[in-house]
Each structure stands twice: as C-alpha cells, then as structure tokens.
Amino acid sequence: MNKDPNYPVKVEKAIAKKYGEDTVQHPKKNWNDNKEKEYLSQMKEFHSRSEQTTSEVEIDGVLISKKLITKESNRSCPVCNVYSFKSKDDVYMSKFDCCEKCYIQWIEGREDRWLKGWRPDANNKTTT
C-alpha cells in the first residue's frame, strides 16, 4: 500500500487530466428535481409497456413467459419416455429420435436396423 496520504487526490487529478473533469464528478452534482421526475415517468412508462407485452402461460403448473417459449420442444425420449435436460441427448434425438441411454442400449452397432424402422416393444424386449 502507498503511505502517501495525498495519493487518492493525485490519482483523481490524473484521471481528470486524462479523461476529463466529468469522470471525477459526483453523480448527483447535476441531478435535480426535474430530472428525477422525468426519470420516474420514463421508468413508469417502460414498466407499463413491458407488462403489456409480457404474458405468461401455465405449463405443468408453472407460469412461463411466452418469450421463453419459441417452439415446441420434445425433450422426452419416445422409446423410454424419460425427460432429459442433457445436451448430449440433443444429438441422439435429432439423428435417431431417442436419448443417449436408449442409443447405447438399442441402436449402437445396429444403426441400419434402427433406421429401417425397428423399435423395441413396450416391455423393452427385443423384437424381430
């Protein structure tokens, strides 16, 4: 640490010299009641506009903003009916329409059979 008691003043002067006097002024120096009223009216207008455009949809008992719902998302594996948040499952879902676990169990090494339409039965037993 610097032992000079005038060090902060010297730093402030150097900043003012390099970037201008406005950089070292207190934020409330040019603030007055008129600016405060204008700011508050702008904030009220902004919030009223955002409340009008924001609407929520209830999905499985949870309210979700419509802005977050961009498309129908199928995150459940049609083979095992497990809902997945894993990004690895996206790859398998797009190519084989199943999760990573089902890919490993039913498809790996047998891609041709899967692409021809074979699927395990409801009890997950192999069928011909």
> How many domains does the chain fold into?
2
- pTM for this structure? 0.40
122, 126, 123: which is closest to 107 by C-alpha? Answer: 126
pLDDT higher than threshold 80 for residue 62: no
pLDDT of residue 127: 46
Q: Which of 24, 41, 68 is the last residue of a domain?
A: 68
Q: What percent of the chain has pLDDT over 90?
A: 20
Residue 2 belongs to a domain: no
pLDDT higher than threshold 70 for residue 93: yes
> CA 29 to CA 7: how far, in whole Å?
24
Residue 1 belongs to a domain: no
pLDDT digits (tens, 9 = 90+) for 19-42: 998 888 988 888 899 999 999 999
Residue 92 belongs to a domain: yes
28, 35, 32, 11 alpha-carbon torsion, rounded to 10°: 20
Top pLDDT among 16 and 123 is at: 16
Where in the sequence is the domain holding 17, given as residue range(s)? 7-68
> CA 89 to CA 73: how far, in whole Å?
13
> 62 has which bridge partners?
59
Q: Which of 21, 37, 68 is the last residue of a domain?
A: 68
